[in-house]
Amino acid sequence: MKKKIAVIAFIVMVLTLISGCKSKSERPFDYDLSKYITLGDYIGIEYTYSVEDVTDEAVNSYINSAMAEKGYGEETEVTDRAVQNGDEVNIAFVGRMNGEEFEGGSSESYDLIIGSNSFIEGFEDGLIGVNKGETKVLNLKFPENYGNEELNGKDVEFTVTVNSISTLVYPELTDDIVKEISDCETVDEYITYANDQVKLNNEQQANDKKETEIWKKIVDNVTVSSYPEDELEHFKELVLESYDNSAQSQYGMTYEEFAKTYYGKTLEEMDDEIMQQVKSTVKEYMTIVAIARDQDIEISDQEYQSQAATYATSYGYSNAQEFLDAVDESQFYLSLLVNKVMDFVVENAVQVNA
């Protein structure tokens, strides 16, 4: 089931609402949106598109990941070469903005897998080629929607020292290992399969990048005059619920405790940052609904029930109604509308490169 979750800010919350708690049953944004937003251009949006070539490095990385999941691979310290993609490095780093260290931007010892995309763009790539004991200064920029008002879109400097480098050394691939890590029978068969999977992944990444580029331009073209207060409050509750679930699952604490521990702030003090994300989310959802109305795009009752049945199967519910009884139906409807509107704007976009 294809989902364009990555395109819309916080739309992943749609899938976290399966908690047995319903807050709304009416269809979303059931009022005159022209009081709040004015659509700009959303048809004929230009985008670039390119698919990365399948490389031996990418195929080997895919195979090694499959072996690692089955317990293969021995961690070995690296002393005779510089950092490569896929290595685990222990680093010390200091982050500065306008010459001053910023909160949460420094560590004396941090384990990082290069290529995991755990840090902001450019950080991990910037360490490739650095040797153990060397220090490198990285001049980077936080994403506009990083989620921290003090850091969003800001230029920063990280001074990073590589304390150690390690990598997993894998055994030679054999037919027996292939049978254990896949449904293939031989090494040659599995290598062909791995090539195909890397190709599919590269194509998916290219499509995701294309959709993100198109959607960002559409949202940037939208003018917001004001925000509906009920929606702000509703989505604020969802954001806080999402944050709270993440804090509990990852750190074993509530989001309020997490904010106090890691940011030194109360929820009230975090309110501006949370509301900034909420407004971004509401803007995107209003844009989706406004385009749908402009183009008479709807989710029919048949589509609604059919998708509910599909989701019910995916999430272990006995039938569609049991699933619908457990979710916020307005959010579920929005998730379906997102897919349909995104299909429309992508189909009507224009590729400007080969």
pLDDT per position as a tens digit, 119-138: 998 999 999 999 999 999 99
Question: For residues 254 and 230, what is the distance between their CA atoms, to the nearest angstrom?
Answer: 25
The model carries a pTM of: 0.76
Q: In the block, which residue shows the tokens 């500065």?
A: 96
- Residue pair 309/336 in contact (Cβ under 8 Å)? The answer is no
What's the CA gap between 236 and 278, in Å, rounded? 6
Task: Compute, in degrees rounded to 10, the torsion defined by CA atoms 199, 200, 201, 207.
Answer: 110
Residues of the chain with CATH 3.10.50.40: 74-169
Pick among 2.60.40, 1.10.3120, 3.30.1490, 3.40.50: CATH of 5-42+221-351: 1.10.3120
CA dist., res. 149 & res. 144, Å (int) = 9
How far is it, in rounded angstroms, from Cα 286 to Cα 249? 31
Residue 145 in contact with residue 212, Cβ under 8 Å?
no
Residue 20 has pLDDT above 80, yes or no: no
| Minimum mean pLDDT range among 6-10, 156-160, 290-294 | 6-10
Beta bridge mates, 89: 112, 165
Domain ranges in the chain with CATH number 1.10.3120: 5-42+221-351
Q: Number of C-alpha atoms within 13 angstroms, CB side, residue 48?
A: 1
Place of tokens 């749609």: 14
pLDDT (tens digit, 9 = 90+) per residue, 171-229?
A: 999 999 999 999 999 999 999 999 999 999 999 999 999 999 999 999 999 999 999 99
- Give the domain 74-169 fold: Chitinase A; domain 3 (3.10.50)
Angle of helix 329-347 relative to helix 187-220, nearest 10 degrees?
Answer: 90
Percentage with pLDDT > 70 across the chain: 91
Question: Quick one: average pLDDT of 248-259?
Answer: 87
Which residue(s) pair with 92 in the sheet? 161
Residue 183 tokens, joined: 């449904």
- The number of beta carbons lying within 10 Å of the beta carbon of residue 168 is 16
